[in-house]
Amino acid sequence: MNDNLKDKLENIPTLPGVYQFINEKGKIIYVGKAKNLRNRIRSYFQKNLDSPKTIALVNKINDIEVIVTDSEIEALVLENNLIKEFKPRYNINLKDDKSFPYIKVTNELFPQVFATRNIEKDGSKYFGPYTDVKNMKSSLRLINKIFKIRSCKYDLTKDSIEKKKFKVCLDYHIKKCEGPCEGLVSPERYNLYVNQVIKVLRGKTDELINELEQQMIDASSNLEFEKAAEIRDRIEQLYVYTSRQKVVSTDLSEKDIISAAYEAKDVSATILNIRNGKLVGKKQFFLTIEEGTEEDKIYSSIIKFYYNEFVEIPKEIIIEVEPDEKETLLDWLNSKALNKCQFIIPQKQSEAKSLLNMCKQNAQLALKELQLQKMKKEGNIPFVLSALKRDLHLNNIPKTIECFDNSNLQGSDAVASMVVFVDGKPKKSLYRKFIIKSVIGPDDFASMKEIITRRYSKVIEENQPLPDLIMVDGGKGQLSSAIEALNELGLKKFEIIGLAKRLEEVFLPNQSEPINIPKTSSSLKLLQHIRDEAHRFAITFHRERRSKRIINTELTSIKGIGNSLAQKLISTIGSLEKIKSSTLEELQKVVGKSKAQIIYNHFNKE
């Protein structure tokens, strides 16, 4: 520790505030906040530190800067802003540094509603952030379709309207706008539409529908049938919109569900917004952490990143673990909330626990997709193999896959095939054919056991490595036979699956039920491709064997016709049936006059 650092540690105030740790290059490497700056900062320099992350951080501190605040809540807000600005290495940071879009309702006489990434403190209302831009655009399309909100960017003031500075556009003529630019609609009526838009954006669509239904009844009672019909159409469109929102809770209170999945330095955070029992929004974003970061700090960071000054604070935040700085976070949230907010940590099986599990699944899925995208960008391994490793829960990337299939016709000419895929592509030079030797009759299980035994006996004998994945065409029976063969050979560390044709079910060892892989998954499509290739190769070999047997029994039974001549006829003309129907001239072109006459006479006896 340098002398400058020692002096600063002696003079740190005992007030709330924010501290910044700076390395020898002058770069901020960590930002923190504290109720008592002196106690918090000096705790980093104790001798009994046991966290490798903290030890690494302290070893790089060359200077300290502090900013005193009036309260711990002010310190929390400042800390959050500084982390977003400087992205210090040892803090938890948003992975994507671009700002997320919001829907903005401007603070004007006739407000506009549009998407923006620029937040201005001009009295406008903001809704979001929308981590899914598609979802945001869908909301804007609904607003434009149902509510008569202007799409123009005119600066509509009382003065500009009175001076007739602007003219109505096409939206007015097609009844998508009521012409505020020419004063054709009052600010009170226009802002009624705006308030209805705000209710939709806040997830209070059911409440709005109830209000509109009453307005429709009132208009009808006053014989304003055109107005009533217009409100009716608006209600119908809102019903279509709300029917797409999944009912997930019988509790109608406002709540957000927060869950995170993390591995190494990647964190996937999912937030589900539930209003009036319906899932009205889903937010997804990614964070980067230092390995070994505590779970409570991860959740604390998620809450601080998400609930900025423009995000609506619900009554309940359902979360897996108690976040770090829980009381300070609650004080901060409640300072912005319309109603008092509380953290709910479900312990027993309940509706809240089920919602949390659903949220967790979304976070885990997003984390897996992030990891796969990283692998894809690195270009080291094909994306589909990463997906296969994920979906089959394999220990390693299946770069080499060997697949086996049987083929027979009522037990005759029983054969099998092995195809090999390397890096997701067929390696035909490694394909192998097998003639079933020890099995009599159609017994797929015994045939599978025989070819697995023969293949991997040779692998052991020649000291070759096992493939990353062994695959058999068939369900539990074929898989069990293959595993039995491998166990009898004394093999231990192998990965094997079975793919049944009927329902495209994937079976794993020691599991009675097939695993569920989405039908659209690239990994399932690869497995199907490998299985189909093994089947094609087996069928081709089976047909070759059968053709040879037919040749030997029919063509070679003709006096003067040997194996080589029979093979020549089959390869040139195509099949025994075609040979039987060939003319004498066609046969002569292949085998000459005398042999052609013998064959022709044999198949054309009266």
Using CA atoms, how far apart are residues 333 and 310, in angstroms rounded to an integer? 12
The helix, strand and coil proportions of the chain, stated in percent and rounded to the nearest 5, come to 45, 20, 35
CA 496 to chain centre: 26
Give the three-state DSSP class for 324. Answer: coil
Using CA atoms, how far apart are residues 110 and 156, in angstroms rounded to an integer? 7
Instruction: Provide the residue type at 594 as one letter.
Output: S
Please say whether the beta carbons of 272 and 257 come within 8 A.
Answer: yes
Please say whether the dihedral angle defined by the alpha carbons of residues 90, 94, 96 and 97, taken in this order, is positive or negative.
negative
Using CA atoms, how far apart are residues 260 and 262, in angstroms rounded to an integer? 6
Using CA atoms, how far apart are residues 57 and 407, in angstroms rounded to an integer? 64
270 strand-pairing partners: 259, 284
| φ/ψ of residue 496, rounded to 5 | -145, 145
Please say whether the beta carbons of 367 and 259 come within 8 A.
Answer: no
Render 440-471 in DSSP notation, one character per residue: -SS-HHHHHHHHHHHHHHHHHHTTPPPPSEEE
Neighbour-count burial of 201, counting CB atoms closer than 10 A to its CB (0-12 exposed, 13-18 middle, 19+ buried): buried
Using CA atoms, how far apart are residues 592 and 418, in angstroms rounded to an integer? 40
Please say whether the beta carbons of 405 and 538 come within 8 A.
Answer: yes
Please say whether the dihedral angle defined by the alpha carbons of residues 390, 395, 396 and 399, taken in this order, is positive or negative.
negative
Please say whether the beta carbons of 600 and 594 come within 8 A.
Answer: no
Using CA atoms, how far apart are residues 199 and 140, in angstroms rounded to an integer? 13
Residues shown for the chain? 606
Question: Which of 346, 320, 319 minimizes the C-alpha distance to 333?
Answer: 319
Using CA atoms, how far apart are residues 95 and 92, in angstroms rounded to an integer? 9
CA distances in angstroms from 15 to 18, 212, 239, listed in the order given = 10, 53, 54
What domains can you pick out in the chain, each with its CATH number? Answer: 3-91 (3.40.1440.10), 255-370 (3.30.420.10), 389-543 (3.30.420.340), 556-603 (1.10.150.20)
* The pair of three-digit structure tokens given for residue 357, joined into one six-digit string: 């599990």
Neighbour-count burial of 530, counting CB atoms closer than 10 A to its CB (0-12 exposed, 13-18 middle, 19+ buried): buried
Provide the 10 A C-beta neighbour count for residue 249: 19
pLDDT of residue 606: 47
| φ/ψ of residue 173, rounded to 5 | -70, -25
Number of C-alpha atoms within 13 angstroms, CB side, residue 336?
Answer: 16
402 strand-pairing partners: 420, 470
The predicted-structure confidence for 190-246, as pLDDT tens digits, reads as follows 999 899 888 888 878 888 888 888 889 988 888 888 888 888 888 888 887 776 666
The predicted-structure confidence for 363-411, as pLDDT tens digits, reads as follows 888 888 887 776 655 555 677 787 788 888 888 889 999 999 988 655 5
19 strand-pairing partners: 32, 66
Please say whether the beta carbons of 216 and 232 come within 8 A.
Answer: yes
* The pair of three-digit structure tokens given for residue 202, joined into one six-digit string: 């806040």
Please say whether the beta carbons of 209 and 234 come within 8 A.
Answer: no
Question: Which of 525, 538, 445, 523 minimizes the C-alpha distance to 484?
Answer: 445
Return the residue matching tokens 């312990």: 347
| Axis crossing angle, helix 187-201 with helix 133-146, rounded to the nearest 10 | 150
Based on its alpha-carbon atoms, the radius of gyration of the chain, rounded to whole angstroms, reads 37
Provide the 10 A C-beta neighbour count for residue 284: 15
Using CA atoms, how far apart are residues 557 and 576, in angstroms rounded to an integer? 13
Low-confidence ranges of the chain (pLDDT < 50): 606
Please say whether the beta carbons of 205 and 241 come within 8 A.
Answer: yes
Give the three-state DSSP class for 472. Answer: strand
| Axis crossing angle, helix 225-243 with helix 205-221, rounded to the nearest 10 | 160
Pairing of β 102-105 and β 93-94: unpaired
Alpha helices in 147-224 (DSSP H): 158-162, 170-173, 187-201, 205-221
Please say whether the beta carbons of 288 and 267 come within 8 A.
Answer: yes
